Amino acid sequence: MKENSFILKGNICYAGTKDRLAIAEGGYLVCVQGRSCGVFPVLPEKYRGLPVTDYQSCLIIPGLVDLHTHGPQYPFRGLGMDLELLEWLETHTFPEESRYEELAYARRAYGMFAEDLKASATTRAVVFGTIHVPASILLMELLEAAGIKAFVGKVNMDQNCTEQLREQDAEKALADTRQWLADTMGSFQNVRPILTPRFAPTCSGPLLEGLGELQREYGLPVQSHLSENLSEIDWVKELFPWSGCYGEVYEHYGLFGGEALTVMAHCVHSTEPEVELLRQKGVYVAHCPQSNINLSSGIAPIRRYLDKGIRVGLGTDLAGGAAMSMFRCMADAIGASKLYWRLVDQDSRPLTMEEAFYLATKGGGAFFGQVGSFEEGYELDALVLDDTGIRTTRALGTRERLERYIYLAEEGGRLAGKYVAGQEIFRQNICG
């Protein structure tokens, strides 16, 4: 028997296209060497030798991809939510992040984050660390051990922030980043480094220039924040007066798509030229609806991005977002889009459940390659959902059960199994 080769049986559901679910009730999901061979109503002869786990009436869906989150902010999720972005950064975020200089603290805090992420519905994540090299390496080790596939970034910031979190200068920042890359590139099976300028205001020109060089030298991916908050955008314009839009700052230094696989969180207030730049450069937008609500940032125009063909996924943005649950994130994305439609633009119809599900699986999954679907050739990330605790008198179809699970995962839902790239992360007693 081949490694990571098995069959899962159950009510299988994944995003066929953006608008349509593919459903196989009582179907067989075949995994060979960590990749999907497809979903079958009847098991083909050639796979009969593989072990079958029968999850009976449970739902089986692709793993969920958190395209933007902050590991070090986990300890204060749900706190300080009455503040706006820049005040919240000063009061909560920067003091917390400065604690990760101490490796013992990082071990305790990142340990909680990695354990809880392992138990969650998230199979892949794109994660901010802090400026600290040892702590960032530790975070990578812990996620590796948890079996979560992740891009993890040692953060770069050398200006406009509390001294404790400021890298000494661009030169030192870049030397540290090189050291970190040397220590981590190719060292893990699940985890890879990603260049992580925190956001334009905290990065000097020389730092951004050096990061652009590193990107080209090693072909590294990039993550940062973009156009989250109106005061932030004004600040960027002040700091980089030559830029036509916020995104142009990153683009100027070669940190905005094109050859560089790039994800930008938020894009709540992107101008028309910035939206066009996102599209041209193939930059991924990480839509973080709960964070954008908590920090009073607004609502990102996701319908517009989808219509333009921009690449979009969903993110929790811990701890701007309080919830780690990507189900909650889907429900929030739908809700936010309804309010955008009602309050901002009556031509921008809300996201459907199918679209939100697509964004949380295949949409964000594409950042990792062939991820987020059960189509043949995709890496096999799967969740087994036991919804018997979300009680009802009705006999429900698979689409209805998925919708209900998205809204009510936290009120009676239970993960009965989790697989990442064909590795079983955990399996619990199955539902009746």
Residues that bind a copy of itself (CB under 8 A): 75-79, 81-82, 105, 108-109, 112, 116, 290, 293-294, 296-299, 322-325, 331, 334-336, 338-339, 341-344, 350, 352-353, 390-394, 396, 400, 403-408, 410-411
Given strand 191-193, what is the order of strands in its sheet?
64-70, 122-128, 149-153, 191-193
Which residue's CB is nearer to a copy of itself, number 83 or number 239? 83
Q: CA 305 to CA 287: how far, in whole Å?
A: 10
Least Å from the CB of residue 163 to a copy of itself? 22
Beta strands in 288-341 (DSSP E): 311-314
Which residue's CB is nearer to a copy of itself, number 35 or number 399? 399
Which residue's CB is nearer to a copy of itself, number 31 or number 322? 322
Least Å from the CB of residue 345 to a copy of itself? 11
Q: Count CB neighbours of 165 within 10 A.
A: 22
User: Residue 406 has which token pair?
Assistant: 């998205």
Question: 413: closest CA among 382, 388, 383, 381?
Answer: 388
Which residue's CB is nearer to a copy of itself, number 331 or number 431? 331
Alpha-carbon distances, residue 419 vs 96, 125, 209, 260 (angstroms)? 32, 14, 39, 29
- The DSSP call for residue 169 is -
Least Å from the CB of residue 234 to a copy of itself? 16
Which residue's CB is nearer to a copy of itself, number 139 or number 323? 323
User: Residue 207 has which token pair?
Assistant: 């730092």
Least Å from the CB of residue 375 to a copy of itself? 25
Interacting residues of 108 by C-beta distance below 8 A, sequence separation 6+:
none
Least Å from the CB of residue 390 to a copy of itself? 7
Which residue's CB is nearer to a copy of itself, number 35 or number 338? 338
Least Å from the CB of residue 286 to a copy of itself? 19
Helices (H) and strands (E) in the chain, counts: 15, 17
